Chain A
Amino acid sequence: MTALATRREEARTSFSGRGLPTRRVEDWKYSDLKSALGEAGLGEEAAATRIMGLPQGLEFSDLADPYAPAWVAAHLGTLARNAVSEASLAFAEGGIALRVPAGQAIATPLALELSGKGHLRLLLVLEAGASLSLFETGDAAGPRNAGIEIVLGEDASLDHVRLSRPVPGVQVEEIALSLAARARYNAHFASFGGKLSRTELTIALEGEGAQAHLSGVSVLGGDAHADITTHLIHATGNTHSTQLFKKVAGGKARAVYQGRVTVAKGADGADSRQTAKALLLSETAEADLKPELEIFADDVKCAHGAAIGDLDADSLFYLQARGIPEADARALLIHAFLEDALTNITRDDVRGMVRNAVGQALAALT
């Protein structure tokens, strides 16, 4: 049996031993996966990842290939080992692996669409000095469980935007990254919810000078649920992370942000900032924002903040007094509330697409 097959077998055993997380598991407190899925659970089907045109310079490998190249075997299944990501490793029956060789800057963005119901698996490796822009979307099928591993070598740089759509069912995504020295991960997550929708990010800043900048917006109506859970690990000193998540919820929607930042012992000079804000447009909407800090080093800068509120009455009056009708004034303020979380998206065309999706979701909401 190859090393990969062994690892898959191990994942299968691990998942069947642990089962789906319940709300008693702290990380899943606000996302009741087990009851959202019901009897059928996550199933054992395989979903797919569609590559919308493979940019030149990227190397591709099929994870179903038992004779996968060494760089695949070296990384697949190494980063995340929680129950849900073990399930995707066990049941995805393959998936894709992509590598950007050392020093390559890929100019064309890589567009991926997560598709169908079941489990899928993706491995993305950027070797030293490589750079890539990743644009990820998904269809509305579910339940779907995506397990994504991203390895960034020294000085590698990845821009990642995930633009999801409102989905009727359950979609969960586990993204695990490791960053070597001076590597940079810049990501934005735009989510519009589902019966249960969750993105969990585990980011290990392993090398000196590594940095991760995360932002996201959620616009939720009806009884949509969207959970973004992040775990930033400053394993080494002089690592830097920022997070800015903005959420708008109306109807009976539920917006969740859990952000845990861990600064390891000896990781002096680590700098971490996280902000999460939610705007509730109805009495029945709910936001659960939970920033957490675990600091084991002495000389660090960590700031975190969370706020939940309604539209500011002074601002609303100001705009109305300038002639802007109330409904338009509200819409303007909601857009303005979300705007700073969009500025982190580097590409203008992608930012435009996200802004359009946000506009549509807000129009449906108000």
Chain B
Amino acid sequence: MLEIKNLHVCVGDKPILKGLTLSIQPGQVHAIMGPNGSGKSTLSYVLAGRAGYDITEGAIAYNGEDLAAMPPEQRAAKGVFLAMQYPVEIPGVTTMTFLKTALNAQRRTRGESDLDAIGVLKLVRAKAKELNVSEEMLKRALNVGFSGGEKKRLEILQMSLFEPKLAILDETDSGLDIDALKLVAEGVNALRSPERAMLVITHYQRLLDYIVPDRIHVLAGGRIVAEGGKELALELEAKGYEHIVGQDSIKRSA
């Protein structure tokens, strides 16, 4: 589903990703772990198509198509979803209006007809209930005055609503207490399916206790420096990143 080959990305003049290679199949959940500044968020932004993140070498194929050639809205319509680390606050647009606008924009790009207001409302209400998102939150301006947990829950609500094929979760655990984390993880796990791939980006092992990945990649210095199964997270937790990053060459040749 997603094939990233030898990806080099610059932000301004600064190289951030320096030859990242990664492959994800439908139904799989992969985790990317790495220290601060390793390029985790850059990877999520470049996959979602943020301006200012320039691919200087390598390629990203998504279901056989060149992802980098698509504007962000087209990626979204084709099923790429990024749950953001810092969801933006937009005063003046209610959450419900935003959800309806986004849902119908994606449908239009795919050549489908708009859902009417009642159809969207029913759909959103059903999803909201599962994620403990209140009616009152939907009426408020998008993310304005939301707690950290509420913002992340709304990200997962969107993921549930848009039904992406590839979901990227960027530091979804940041700023969450354990109860909020569990709720978010439950929401994510409910969306695991044989057709859907997920890329979970996190600094800490904690999130991976709840969203158990099939594969873990360690990102450092803009490249994958170690890979393994879910037990790798525990090793990182016990020994720290320096231990792994320091043994870069050994791990890679193994």
Contacts and interface: CB of A to CB of B under 8 A. Distances in A.
Interface of A: 312-315, 317-326, 328-329, 332-333, 335-340
B72 A339 contact: no
A325 B101 CA distance: 10
B88 A323 contact: no
Question: Could you say which interface size class chain B belongs to?
Answer: 20 to 34
Given A317-B50, A318-B87, A323 B73 contact: yes
Given A317-B50, A328-B105, A322 B90 contact: no
Given A317-B50, A339-B91, 15 more contacts: A317-B72, A318-B88, A318-B90, A320-B71, A320-B73, A322-B102, A322-B162, A323-B102, A323-B103, A324-B102, A324-B105, A326-B71, A328-B101, A332-B101, A339-B92
Tell me which of B75, B91, B101 has the highest count of chain A C-beta atoms within 10 A of its own C-beta.
Answer: B101
Given A323-B105, A332-B101, A312 B88 contact: yes
Contacts of B75: 321
Nearest to B84: A318
Interface in B48-86: 48-51, 71-73, 75-77, 82, 84, 86
Contacts of B87: 318
Tell me which of B91, B92, B105, B162 has the highest count of chain A C-beta atoms within 10 A of its own C-beta.
Answer: B92
A326 B101 contact: no
Contacts of A326: 71, 73
Interface of B: 48-51, 71-73, 75-77, 82, 84, 86-88, 90-93, 98, 101-103, 105-106, 109, 158, 162
Contacts of B51: 313, 317
A322 B158 contact: yes
B91 A340 contact: yes
A324 B99 CA distance: 10
A323 B91 contact: no
Given A313-B51, A328-B105, A332-B101, A321 B92 contact: no
Contact of A322 (B50, B76, B86, B91): B76
Contact of B76 (A315, A323, A333): A323
A162 B88 CA distance: 33
A324 B101 contact: yes
A320 B72 contact: yes
A312 B93 CA distance: 14
Nearest to A319: B102
Tell me which of B73, B84, B109, B162 has the highest count of chain A C-beta atoms within 10 A of its own C-beta.
Answer: B73
A342 to B, nearest CB: 9
15 contacts: A317-B48, A318-B90, A320-B72, A321-B50, A321-B82, A321-B84, A322-B76, A322-B98, A322-B102, A322-B106, A323-B106, A324-B73, A325-B73, A332-B101, A336-B90
Given A321-B48, A322-B158, A323-B109, A340 B92 contact: yes
Contacts of B71: 320, 325-326
Contacts of A319: 90, 98, 102
Nearest to A325: B73
Contacts of B48: 317, 321
B162 to A, nearest CB: 7
